[in-house]
Amino acid sequence: MIYSNILEELNEKQKQAVESPRKPLLVIAGPGTGKTRTLIARIVYEIQHYQIPPDQIRALTFSNKAAGEMKQRLLHALNDQAEKVKISTFHSFCLNVLRKYHQLAGLAKTFSVCDDQYQMRLLQELLANRIRENVERKARGIQLAFSNHLLKNKPLPAFSASVFDEYTRHLQKYQLLDYNLLLVKTLELLQNHPDVLEQYRFLNQSVLVDEFQDTDPVQYQIVKLLAWKHRNIFVVADDDQSIYAWRGANPENIRRYMDDFSISEPIFLEINYRSGKNIVEAAQHVVRSTDRIGPDKKLHGNDEKDSLIRAYFFKDENQEIRYITKKITDWQANEEIPYSEMAIIYPQHRFGERLSSYLLKERIPFQMASGKNLSEHPLMQKIILYLKLIRMPSDTLALEQLVEKELGYQIYKQVQNFKNLHNTTFRKALNELSQREEISYKIRNQISTFIGHIANMVNLKSFFSFERLISEIIRGSQEISRSVLRHNAAKLSRFECRYFKKIARPETSIWVYHQDERISFIALRLLKAAFGERVHRLSAERTLHVKSSDIALLLDPLPVENLSCRYELMFKQTTDRRRSVLSVLFRWLQAHLQREDQPVFDDYVIFDLETTGKNPETCGVVEIAAVRVKEGEIIDEFQTLVNPGMEIEEEAREVHHISTEDIAQAPSEKEAWEQFKAFAGNSLLIAHNGYGFDFRVLDRLAKDFNQPRLSNVRYDTLILARTLFPNQQNSIDGLAARFKLDAGTRHRALDDVKVLQEIFVRLLDILGEQDVKISGEEFTEYIALGNVLLNELSAVEDKIFFSAGIQKLLSPYSRIRSAYAAQFGIEEDELLNNLKRIASRQTAVSVLYKNEDDFALRIMQTAKEFNEMPVDEAIAEFLSFVALVNPQDSLEPVDAVSMLTYHAAKGLEFDRVIIVGMEDENMPSFFAYKNDDEDDRTVTKKLEEQKRLLYVGITRAKSEVILTAVKNRFGRLQKASPFLNEIKESIEIKTYQ
């Protein structure tokens, strides 16, 4: 798109802003006034009119969603040139600066950003020894005080100051930055290193800032430094939407910017294209008494749009909820308003949590932008904590959190009590409890498996791609996903297919054939979802287009003599009636979804110890044996008896039958240890129950001999066996019996090692097969729909794939249902009802589905983006990425009601909006009336921000706003919000009967 086309879309004020000279500019843009369009037009104008190279333009905003929208619009305007323009959030920009100059900033290369939950847990830990009551509330206050100190240079209150040093020392020790330190460190780097600053000034010849009212003092200083020399800065702000004072944002930055850059008069964008006149007028009444940049500024609503704003009073929450669900149903059924054009906005998450259960009950699809970011999702919390421990195994805070989440509160408290009783560390207490025989076997097994799983990943991380590492975390977690395929993997038969390497080549086209157009369409969409646009529909007439390097997948018979490429006769693989032809296609897809990582277990040493007793801290070694394995074959052996110079316990002697006489002339432990060390070299060391016994004995011997601990990477096969066969017999004896292996002279070290090698090969084979069987669950909705059309729902695998896919197929998040209905001219509601009837006849199938149900699958998709980095860097980058994601970034483009806090709603728009909680001390918040040490703003300033929050909520709507208040909420009598008085002239107020 050329600039003249963009220019035609602009009104006079927008055009004035876009075509301004290269000098400091301030645009005050209210909601719905086209600020993003104006920003994009300015970027295009600077490229085409001022000839600024696209890669020297820097645009900064506050959410990934906003940055993504700008990139999409710019792509439409500039095509390939758009990718060169640097658009990011402030925090992402700072992260990239510090990554590039980490040494100058005094940071480790793999530093990471800690999320809000980690910060709060740390503060609560630090406060635990200082106060007894209201620890969580006090931690929030101290977090705000830290923010004011770092961002506004305000002195810390005495109590907060006593915590601050300890807090920052912890972050430094574990190579972490919080959100504020990320900004502060960037500012310090630019201030202290003029050469770095000059480089960034040169590389950013144009600076554009969106949502400038949300900047804190440090962010403003960064922007000021970047633009001070060339002064080509374009700022878009709306002081009426400044709602982030609690995280350091200061609308006074707008006035400071005007003073610093000598701007006498902003350009005001005054036409709201989104909202009807009544909505805009009511919203302006809310903020008219606040401190504004332009006290007399006037926003004009869309005169062409009918609009309505009403307030309803209810006697209690149940009456309110019944009204809300009925209103949403009426809008959708009677006015044909899509669910995606509706939003429920509330002041606190607890409002949404209560409402969500009623929406589920009424089968109203919804999605919640809940929490600060992705890190508050239960599954993501576990993955983050695992990654923190893999990155930094000594991080006790992360270990404590993960024990509580993974092993449960009771075990967590048991470890804490043991720690306090014995005056030891949490880590030592955890290890000790895994060995104590007075603890139940089940709990010991849980703890030791948990410890071993983490240790295996810490040891093997350098062998893994990041995607594989995340997969290992999910596999080993004791309660991590609701995967239907994972729970039914044992029922899925082994599936063989060909051409693995061939299909991986991006130049290889894939052709698919079925004579039924409906099945052909579904198969084509399925494969395109997996492989992209290199998938094509095959017909008898199109065989000439097929190249010899391609692959054809024949779901129905087709003469193959005209095919010059390799082909799979999938229709022939259904004769055993275990699966339909679409299920065969899915099994083929599963096999090809597996990523080829570097081999982990192609060169290793597997070993075993026989000892004088069972205690790894005191026993002596009487035999060491090991084999070296390369590419699955034993190529070398090591075995020696050992004289530890101590008595052999009778129980141990009965197991391995080694007597004192047998070892009388054997080498000493020191000699044997040196021999084994030479044999092992730098190879990966593998043992069964290694973390519980063998590795611990080796480490103790090294300490006894004043030698360094063996630095070899380690792996414990017991952890893998427990993962594959939970709650079953996983000793070497038990596994040998499972696999029907000849155990030889069991409980002599060399025989144990040889049988363990055979067991390990079997375990790896089962692991690889399971990986294939559980992959691709996000695609099963295609198979579910296709098998319904084929009437193939009786075979074992067809049933499993139907169960895995039907929930998503029935949900607003389906990627195939609407496309199929549109393609074949079917009413989607009719299709949906037919699918629900079929689903109701299938056992154990729930038709309720939330986008969280495939959250693990979406995490795996995200993980792939980090595969090209070394794994330590990928972990640090992923943790930072998750910490910096905004709530609204989790919203999907689906037909579902959005449930949002005021802060999460900012920047979004909907046709209909319901605002819940219009009671005093909810809106405005109870905290706005309080004076406290940590937040030194006056009550007046706090109340003004609350008004701006309501302004933001109201202006999300295009056509209708409903405000609700109740007389009794959360068990307390309520008063109406005083803000309703300020807008009573422009709204209808009703008491619901």
Annotated binding residues for ATP, written as ranges, equal 29-36
Helix (H, G, I), strand (E, B) or coil at 649: coil
Q: How far is CA 33 from the centre of its chain?
A: 33
Helix (H, G, I), strand (E, B) or coil at 624: strand
Cα distance between residue 845 and residue 803, in whole Å: 6
Do residues 541 and 562 touch, judged by C-beta distance below 8 A? no
Cα distance between residue 811 and residue 852, in whole Å: 12
Q: What are phi and psi of 61, to 5 degrees?
A: -140, -165
Tokens at 65, concatenated? 């969603």
Do residues 53 and 27 touch, judged by C-beta distance below 8 A? no
The torsion defined by the Cα of 918, 919, 924 and 928, in degrees rounded to 10, comes to -160
| Backbone region of residue 423 per phi and psi (left: phi > 0; alpha: psi in -120 to 50; beta: other values) | left
Nearest to 231 by CA among 19, 18, 22: 22
Tokens at 702, concatenated? 């090294």
Give the number of other CB atoms < 10 A from CB of residue 941: 15
Nearest to 88 by CA among 58, 54, 56: 58
Indicate the burial class of 791 (C-beta count within 10 angstroms; 0-12, 13-18, 19 or more): exposed
Tokens at 465, concatenated? 């791609």
Nearest to 317 by CA among 976, 917, 969, 975: 969
Tokens at 407, concatenated? 């092993």
Cα distance between residue 86 and residue 597, in whole Å: 33
Q: Fill in the DSSP letter of residue 938.
A: -
Binding residues, by number, are: 29-36
Provide long-range contacts, Cβ within 8 A and 24+ apart, for 320-323.
Answer: 320/916, 320/964, 320/966, 320/992, 321/354, 321/355, 321/358, 323/964, 323/992
Cα distance between residue 660 and residue 652, in whole Å: 12
Going by their DSSP bridges, the two strands 910-916 and 957-966 should be labelled as parallel
Cα distance between residue 20 and residue 14, in whole Å: 10
Nearest to 317 by CA among 976, 947, 971: 971
Instruction: Give the E-state strand segments of 267-355 in sequence order.
Output: 267-269, 271-276, 300-302, 308-314, 342-346
What percentage of the chain's residues is helix, strand, coil (to nearest 5)?
Answer: 55, 15, 30
Q: At what angle do helices 179-192 and 90-100 cross, to 10 degrees?
A: 60
Q: Fill in the DSSP letter of residue 844.
A: T
Nearest to 362 by CA among 334, 331, 338, 329: 329
Cα distance between residue 415 and residue 434, in whole Å: 10
CA distances to 139, 325, 956, 968, 979 from 320, in Å:
34, 9, 21, 11, 20
Indicate the burial class of 393 (C-beta count within 10 angstroms; 0-12, 13-18, 19 or more): middle
Q: How far is CA 911 from the centre of its chain?
A: 29
Cα distance between residue 783 and residue 780, in whole Å: 5
Do residues 280 and 39 touch, judged by C-beta distance below 8 A? no
